[in-house]
Amino acid sequence: KAGVTQTPRYLIKTRGQQVTLSCSPISGHRSVSWYQQTPGQGLQFLFEYFSETQRNKGNFPGRFSGRQFSNSRSEMNVSTLELGDSALYLCASSGDRGPTGELFFGEGSRLTVL
């Protein structure tokens, strides 16, 4: 069974640009979550989608947005990039809606903003 796939793995952007990251969850998983990982802040929750609906949202500005498609694939978008947006963006999928599900993480998309 294929794991969580994130593309692209690495990308470099300049301030003011926008970026779209893609995540393909494990087949059959309907929940997709996004996290931002930085050395100073650790893993910070961005948002979670379940069956194409945003179920939870973290404390990030509106420049960060996401969506989920009918096949459970998800994208996140960051507009008007800032230097501080440089981070590893992790996507995780879960097959369970309830408390017993495990988060399966992808290897991340490393974004560098110059």
Partner 1 sequence: GENVEQHPSTLSVQEGDSAVIKCTYSDSASNYFPWYKQELGKGPQLIIDIRSNVGEKKDQRIAVTLNKTAKHFSLHITETQPEDSAVYFCAAINMNYGGSQGNLIFGKGTKLSVKP
90 counts as binding partner 1 under rule CB under 8 A? yes
44 counts as binding partner 1 under rule CB under 8 A? yes
- Residues comprising the chain, all counted: 114
CA 37 to CA 44: how far, in whole Å?
6
11 counts as binding partner 1 under rule CB under 8 A? no
How far is residue 104 from each of residues 11, 18, 46, 87, measured CA to CA in Å?
23, 27, 16, 19
Which position among 61, 107, 112, 114 is part of the footprint of partner 1 (CB under 8 A)? 107
Which position among 13, 22, 55, 67 is part of the footprint of partner 1 (CB under 8 A)? 55
CA 41 to CA 52: how far, in whole Å?
28
Q: Which residues bind partner 1 (CB under 8 A)?
A: 4, 31-33, 35, 40-45, 48, 50, 55-56, 58, 90, 92, 94, 96-99, 101-103, 105-108
